[in-house]
Amino acid sequence: MTKPECLLRAGLLFLVLSCTRLLNAQTTTFPVNGLADPRSGCYAFTNATLVKDGQTTVTEATLLIRDGRIVAAGKGVSLPKDAVVLDCSGKFIYPSLIDIYSDYGIATPQRQPGERGFFAPQQFTSSTKGAVGWNQAIRSEVNGIDLFSVDDSKAKPLRDIGFGTVLTHQKDGIARGTGAVVTLAAIRDNKVVVKEKASAHYSFSKGTSSQSYPGSIMGAVALLRQTYIDAAWYRNRPASEGLNLSLDAWNASQTLPQIFEAGDKWSEIRADRIGDEFGVQYIIKGGSNEYQRIKEIAATKANFIISLNYPEAQNVEDPADARFVSLGDLQHWELAAGNAAALEKAGISFALTTSDLRDAKQFWPNLRKAIQYGLSESRAMDALTRTPAMLLGVYDKVGSLDAGKLANFLITTGNIFQERTQIVENWVQGERYNVRPEGWEIQGLYKLTLRGAGGTTEYNLDIKSASSATVWSKDTLTAKFAYNAGLVSLTLSPRSSGRGAGRPGAAGNASGIRLSGARIGNGWQGTGVDTLGKTISWTAVYQQAGTPAPDTGRKRTPSAMAHVTYPFGSYGNDTIPVAQSLLIRNATVWTNEKDGKLEGVDVVVRNGKIAKVGRNLSEAGATVIDGSGKHLTAGVIDEHSHIAAFSINEGAQSVTSEVRIGDNLNPDDVNIYRQLSGGVTTSHILHGSANTIGGQTQLIKLRWGADDEGLKFKGADPFIKFALGENVKRTAATQGNSRFPDTRMGVEEVLADAFQRARDYRDDKTAKNLRRRDLELDALVEIMENKRFITCHSYVQSEITALLRVADKYGFKVNTFTHILEGYKVADKMKERGANASTFSDWWAYKMEVQDAIAYNAAIMHKVGLNVCINSDDAEMARRLNQEAAKAIKYGGVSEEDALKMVTLNPAKALHIDKWVGSIREGKDADLVLWSDHPLSIYAKALYTIVDGTVYFDRQKDEAARVRIAAEKNRLVQKMIAEGRSSGTAGPARPTPQVVLHCEEYDHRVGLLETDEHEENEANHQ
Amino acid sequence: MKKNITAIIALLLAGGVASAQDDVYPAPEYKGLSFITNATIHVGNGQVINNGTIKINNGKIEQVGTNIPIPVDDVRVYNAAGKQVYPGMILPDTDLGLKEISSGVRGSNDFRELGDWNTSVRSIVAYNTDSRIINTLKANGILLASVSPQGGLLTGTSSVVQLDAWNWEDAAYQLDGALHLNFPSLLQRRGRFGGGGMQGQNDPIKEALARVEAVKQFFREAKAYLAEKTHAETNLRFESLRPLFEKKQKLFVHAGIVKEMLVAIDFAKEFGVDVVIVGGSESYQIADLLRENNIAVILSPMHNLPTLEDDDVDQPYKTPAILQKAGVLFAINDDHGESRYRNLPFNAGTAAAYGLTKEEALQSVTLNPAKILGIADRTGTLEVGKDANIVISAGDLLDMRTSLVTDVFIQGRKVSLENKQTQLYERYKKKYGIK
């Protein structure tokens, strides 16, 4: 590398020019204090390597700019006379980078402190003033440009790493209004705006909104959905609405690029689906874990904005600390840098952003790491220039070195992606910004000569930076070096010998040779004192560029990397499991059919179905499982579960029939696997019990490894969760309840009101195009039309009867009463209406309304003739539902076969899926469990759990998985320790929280690392 | 005359049905002889006697074995042919009788006192013998419970009660056997229950260690105070520590993770007190250390999720087997807030499904808790000289499929198995005319 002579020569000139140029001052409205000082700002950068864009590089070329724009870029450019010519031999020139996801120049809105979550006080209306919409998190009327102002303290760190242009918007709310494209030039606000309204922004986070709704992810989805509908309806200016600036702005911004901040793979897929529903293709702001589901991410066909934020190494030296860091976290730490490469490989278009970085200085190291992990340099360049410019419709102005575009470019010492390369200058709109690190120009090898009374001594001096140098002759000396604007001081002392020599701080001798000097040409000269205090003189003569530091990154070409499993993390499958032909031989088969319990029977599974039940069967090519001495039952069905979701309760209003659990499934929840280990094959994921009319439920099969759509039980009737009693009147609220209702009387009123509104809505004769579609009421109409079915959280007999009466009046049925701990008191009334009962086996006395709960409840209801299910409502207990069913034998003497049906066939009936599952009959889904023992015994273990003919749990393979997990975890901990030691930047070990979601039903919280959705939200806000 | 046991049951049922168990009476004292015959006797020390007899005299077990002659006098004979006989189970750490309705009914709760230094708080004085929950435990074979206060760092002393009593003085089986310490959490977790989150200004671990040090300081001062015989002013909190330092009381340390348990062991060493770990969900990781230091464990229930997603899916289930193998003395607990402790036998049953023998599992809810609580000289096994705390079940007590408690004796008194739930059952069977 040669010294940057052209720039050094031009240095003085630049100092003069660095004041702000006021181009065309006579044509602006802004008066000038002093002389007009017009300048053309014409510069020619000659002999440079021009990287015009990710694909085009021209060597020995010239870049010519004038008035802040590029005039020409390439070979054979003729230089105008008024151009300041800068020789850039050996230099590379790149377009300045573009960050498409920023809030540069916009103040970060502050969230009001206060308790949030289910038990906190409620706020029902927006606290935003003005003619805006009803929900405080819909801020579509906000325009980034109105809030923006140049902020050089924020611009400089971005310019220093090469950025010249950003898209800025206010990152607050579910609809966030528009963003503006601005440059990072430190000039008047008016001059930096490239595009005033360039984008519209969305997210799932309500940000600073203090309004209670939405209080969940699925609530945010529902709000977005309804707002799309409302905005379309509002185009006709309905008089009933008045002026709604939020919806006006929403409609006006639909033609802009729509950017959705999701940040996590499942959120991204969810966002894309909302877009699909309303004909919008979002540009999706992702995170760093897209590689974990690259197929699904590619299927969105969206353009992505990807962060380069990787998890930092944690201090896992202490095994007791390392214990609580999950394998998934460790694997993600190892693999995150490969995310961009995975996207490139999958053909996904993406831009890169600095927005999630803890420190902008991490940008280049992290980008280079991405390149080591396989990202191509041209793609990286595109992702920082052309792609964001194209997405925002500003490629005519920024994003490449082409005539007519803004003069936004970087001068570097070489290929920008190489570790030793430095960005020397960043020009934005023709303004030069020196971004060299302090002391950059003095780096190199020098010959150091000391002259004193004792003669002449020579040393080698390698200056690495303004504060670091090494000095050696025969031995290496300890050198303390400081450079400041042409002046230098240097202290040399011999290294102490023995242990510790060579380590920083190990030098024992502070009284070395002390030198002071100043720059002269390429070198140095000055005076000093030796160890005896005698005066000496010295010179340093520049020899050559310093020895390049070893390119440490290159050596760390990733090897032995973690595999992406399905799902990601512990107990994931290497590939997504597939159905196989199975022959289960000689088992005791609990058919749940007329045949009852059959001994010594074979079952053939083919194409995911039960093909044959009989004796002495054979099946070519089938995997044979010996069932001798073992019991085969239908898979366990949990009528009431809260696993595998990101949120469960939308409790901010008493009626939230618009929210859908299916909008926020979490296929990575390890409780899916744990419950497979307990024989569960189907789970009904219910909304919580925070409100009278809760959200729409989602029936899933426990297909561990599938994505969220893949979990869903296809073709099943849709259900909805209702709730009565203490939870919906918020008995446990910390500061009292202000949300109607506060009594069971009010609960009944809420129900009547909701169905009356739904009935009026259904019968509304307004012209269809003028009617406002209401998703909340749509769901209730579906109930009245027998297209959606209720499962209702309920305890005491009064409330049960009250709901039955409301149902009678509005002509719908209550399909299932869940919990129903006083069902035994009104079993006859329930039977009359054909309601199903789904209850706990033996829970009671944890709150007032369960004082009369009895363990004999299931038996009584069964004997009265109800279809009775035993449910879990508990991620732990669901693993032992067979045992919970057995308690119906103990408490009330139900027969064994009937008891087993309470967790298999009966819930299938209650959920209207008994034509597919719940018993062992030819033609039904092969959802089966092979137990080691009598299936109702506490000693029984599920050996195989099979869903759709696919073995999702195999106890032997589980044993092998444990060994694998331990080994993999050990490998990663060792690697993390090594990296922590070498980088010295390991943060504290972070225990991986275990999110377990609840109905809000009880305070059973025992896991050391257990957390819930509200805690997660709080933690994410910190 | 031999009395017919079915007649006794009929008498009890004839007492009428109320929905509040007000007519479920504690059994009167019985000083005579009783015999349980033809039984499969699970002694509780690992021994099983087939077709055996237990002779009870004045509330104590006088003889256990086969070929025990039965006099034709005025004795009570209970034919347990085809049935299983066990020692009464012991709930080793509970808020039974202190917490009736945990959510929404503050007035029914007396388990958590204010302040950190409650050494003189005694659970026994608040123990409510009329709690509706107690009788449901007897019906499942749980006959004794150690009732503990919970508030603060040093929460007070627990006492063992027998579950068939008119008032707490009747119930008291052993007074103030243990002082309880809630060990400050040394786990850095985020969220509102973790004390400020990862980025909080204060390091929660440092704060926790400072609290541990404060407890040590409290103990040191108490020890010094107790060394001096006379005091112008009496410190009741320090006075309450005397039995602990005199080893008449144990220190029950509620701790979960390894670091906490290690510091607890150090506590035992520094102050020369008997330490028992309560909770100990991670105890399996230091089983050898616990045995070497003679630290017993009252384990949190098996019916819990594994701590971390990486953990073996059956980790809490098999934790007892790991402790057993290492020779750690442990008892199994049931603190489940929604089923209210009646599933103690099934937590033990789960441990048996995952590595313990059935007799070892039984011991973990009978003899082991008796040893840990210091009452093994009186109960925990069906051995001669001990109280006749006995459970008869139609089948395997630890398996809900077969567990059906038919008879229960506490100190030789045959106690009622009725409770609020059985009464409501009878009431509604009547409504629907079902059997």
pLDDT tens sequence across B60-113: 999 999 999 999 888 999 999 999 999 999 999 999 999 999 888 999 999 999
**Domain assignment present for B422:** no
CA–CA dist B134, B126 (Å, integer):
14
Is the Cβ pair B400, A890 closer than 8 Å?
yes
Nearest C-alpha neighbor of A622 from the set A586, A579, A589, A679: A579
Confidence at residue A557, expressed as pLDDT on a 0 to 100 scale: 56
A390-394, A618-622, B2-6: segment of lowest average pLDDT: B2-6
Whether the pLDDT of residue B40 is over 90: the answer is yes
The reported pLDDT for the residue numbered B241 is 97
Tell me, yes or no, whether B115 and B62 share the same domain. no
**Within-domain flag for B19:** no
Task: Inform me whether the C-beta atom of residue B315 falls under 8 Å from chain A C-beta atoms.
Answer: no
Contact A1007, A996 (CB under 8 A): yes
Q: Using 50, 70 and 90 to split pLDDT, how confident is the model at A5?
A: very low
Q: How confident is the model at residue A19 (pLDDT cuts 50, 70, 90)?
A: very low
pLDDT recorded at residue A511: 63
Q: Give tens-digit pLDDT for A168-182.
A: 999 999 999 999 999
pLDDT over threshold 70, residue B197: no
B233 pLDDT above the threshold of 50: yes
- As to burial, measured by CB atoms within 10 angstroms (0-12 exposed, 13-18 middle, 19+ buried), residue A547 is exposed
* pLDDT tens for each residue of B377-395: 999 999 999 999 999 999 9
Cβ–Cβ < 8 Å for B151, B243: no
pLDDT at A119: 66
pLDDT band for position B353 (50/70/90)? Answer: very high
Closest CA to B136 of B399, B405, B373: B405
Best A821, A1008, A1010 member to test B by mutation, with max B CBs in 10 Å, is A1008
Which member of B199, B313, B428 has the closest CB to residue A674?
B313
Write down the H helix ranges in A202-291: 217-234, 245-252, 265-277
Q: Are residues B372 and B384 in the same domain?
A: no
pLDDT value of position A32: 86
Confidence category of residue A36, pLDDT binned at 50, 70, 90: confident
Q: Domain check: are B406 and B318 in the same one?
A: no
Tell me which amino acid residue B144 is: L
Query: Which chain B residues are within 8 Å of A1003, Cβ to Cβ?
Result: 102-103, 337
Share of chain B above pLDDT 90, in %: 88
**Residue B259 C-alpha, separation from nearest chain A C-alpha, in angstroms:** 7
- ipTM comes to 0.95
**Which residue has better confidence, A460 or A521?**
A460
pLDDT band per the 50, 70, 90 thresholds, residue B368: very high
> Which of the residue ranges A283-292, A297-306, A989-998, B126-135 would you say has the lowest mean pLDDT?
A989-998
Q: Are residues B322 and B242 in the same domain?
A: yes
Q: Does residue B425 fall inside a structural domain?
A: no
* Helices A363-372 & A377-384 angle (0-180, nearest 10): 140
| Closest to A739 in 3D by CA, of A220, A205, A136, A213 | A213
Task: List the CATH number of the domain containing B168.
Answer: 3.20.20.140
Give me the DSSP letters along B329-374. -EEE----TTTTTTTHHHHHHHHHHTTS-HHHHHHTTTHHHHHHHT
Does the distance separating the beta carbons of B309 and A994 come in below 8 Å?
yes
> Do B323 and B246 have their domain in common?
yes
Average pLDDT over residues A803-830: 97
Q: Hey, of A852, A1006, A1013, A1016, which one would you mutate to test binding to chain B, going by the most B CBs within 10 A of its CB?
A: A1006
CA distance A501 to A507: 7
Q: Which domains does chain A have, with CATH numbers?
A: 97-397 (3.20.20.140), 444-495+511-544 (2.40.128.120), 584-633 (no CATH), 636-917 (3.20.20.140)
**What are the residue ranges of helices labelled H in A528-619?**
552-555
Q: How far apart are the first and last CA of chain B?
A: 32
Q: For the segment A186-229, what is each residue's pLDDT rounded down to a tens digit?
A: 999 999 999 999 999 999 999 999 999 999 999 999 999 999 99
Does one domain contain both B44 and B144?
A: no
Cα gap A948→A605, rounded to integer Å = 9
Sign of CA dihedral A972, A978, A982, A987: positive
Residue in A closest to B405 by C-alpha: A890
Question: Which residues of B are less than 8 Å from A844 in CB distance?
Answer: 338-340, 421
A1001-1014 pLDDT tens trace = 554 555 778 877 66
Are residue B316 and residue B185 in the same domain, yes or no? Answer: yes
Reported residue count of chain B is 435
State residue A8's pLDDT score: 43
Whether chain B has a CB inside 8 Å of the CB on A365: the answer is no
Are A731 and B258 a contacting pair at CB < 8 A? no
In this prediction, residue A6 has a pLDDT band, given cuts at 50, 70 and 90, of very low
The verdict on B323 and B384 lying in the same domain is: no
Instruction: Express each pLDDT in A955-985 by its tens digit.
Output: 999 999 999 999 999 999 999 999 999 988 8
User: Which of A689, A862, A889, A890 best probes binding to B when mutated, by most B CB atoms within 10 angstroms?
Assistant: A890
Q: What is the pLDDT of residue B191?
A: 45
Q: How confident is the model at residue A476 (pLDDT cuts 50, 70, 90)?
A: confident
Which residue is associated with the tokens 């309705």? B101
Q: Can you give the pLDDT at residue A1009?
A: 81
CB–CB contact B189 A991 (8 Å)? yes
Residue B17 lies in a domain: no
3-state secondary structure of B428: helix
User: What DSSP assignment string belongs to A645-676?
Assistant: BS-----SSSB-TT-BGGGGB-TT-HHHHHHH
Please tell me whether residues B249 and B262 are part of one structural domain.
yes
What's residue A18's pLDDT?
Answer: 41
- Establish if B104 belongs to a structural domain: yes
Partner A contacted by B137 (CB < 8 A): no
B18 falls within a domain:
no
Range of the domain at B182: 89-379
Alpha carbons A634 and A44: distance in angstroms, whole number = 79
Cβ <8 Å between A864 and B282: no
Report yes or no: B433 at the A interface, CB cutoff 8 Å.
no
Q: Which of A678-692, A730-744, A885-899, B37-51 has the lowest mean pLDDT?
A: A730-744
Is the pLDDT assigned to residue B9 strictly greater than 50? no
Q: What whole-number distance in Å separates Cα of residue B273 and Cα of residue B264?
A: 11
Distance from CA of A849 to the nearest CA of B (A): 10
A864 part of contact set with chain B, CB < 8 Å = yes
What CA–CA distance (Å, rounded) separates B392 from B398? 12
A454: pLDDT strictly greater than 70: yes
Question: How confident is the model at residue A531, as a pLDDT?
Answer: 79
pLDDT tens digits for range A223-279: 999 999 999 999 999 999 999 999 999 999 999 999 999 999 999 999 999 999 999
Residue B199 lies in a domain: yes
| Mean pLDDT computed over A352-366 | 94
Which residues of chain A neighbour B133 with C-beta distances below 8 Å?
A: 845
- Lowest pLDDT segment from A434-448, A869-883, B308-322: A434-448
Please state, in angstroms and rounded to a whole number, the distance separating the CA atoms of residues A790 and A762: 19
Residue A510 pLDDT: 52
B312 part of contact set with chain A, CB < 8 Å: yes
* pLDDT band at A122; cut points 50, 70, 90: confident
Given pLDDT bands bounded at 50, 70 and 90, which one contains residue A558?
Answer: low
Chain B 71-100, residues with CB within 8 Å of chain A CB atoms: 100
A855 chain-B contacts, CB cut-off 8 A? 421
In a domain, residue B424? The reply is: no
Q: Chain B: nearest CA to A953, how far in angstroms?
A: 11
Contact between A432 and A411 (Cβ < 8 Å): no
In this complex, is the C-beta atom of A989 within 8 Å of any C-beta atom belonging to chain B? yes
- B44 lies in the same domain as B145: no
List for chain B the helix, strand, coil content (%; round to 5).
30, 25, 45
pLDDT of residue B16 exceeding 70, the answer is no
Pick from A453-462, A858-867, A927-936: least confident: A453-462
Total count of domains within chain B: 2
pLDDT in tens, A705-739: 999 999 999 999 999 999 999 999 988 777 788 89
Half-sphere exposure of A488 (CA within 13 A, CB side): 29
Which parts of A403-454 are beta strand (E)?
A: 409-412, 423-428, 431-434, 444-452
Q: Are B111 and B232 found together in one domain?
A: yes
- The answer to whether residues B55 and B160 belong to one domain is no
What percentage of residues in chain A have a pLDDT greater than 90? 77
CATH number at residue B71: 2.30.40.10
Taking only the tens place, the pLDDT of each residue in B401-430 is 999 999 999 999 999 999 999 999 999 999
- Pairs across A and B, CB distance < 8 A: 206
Write down the mean pLDDT value for chain A: 91
Give the DSSP H/E element, type plus range, for residue A631.
strand A631-634
Q: Which amino acid makes up residue A517? A: G
Asked whether A530 and A522 are in contact (CB, 8 A), the reply is: no
- Please check whether residue A551 touches B, CB under 8 A: no
CB proximity under 8 Å: B 169-228 to A: 187-193, 197-200
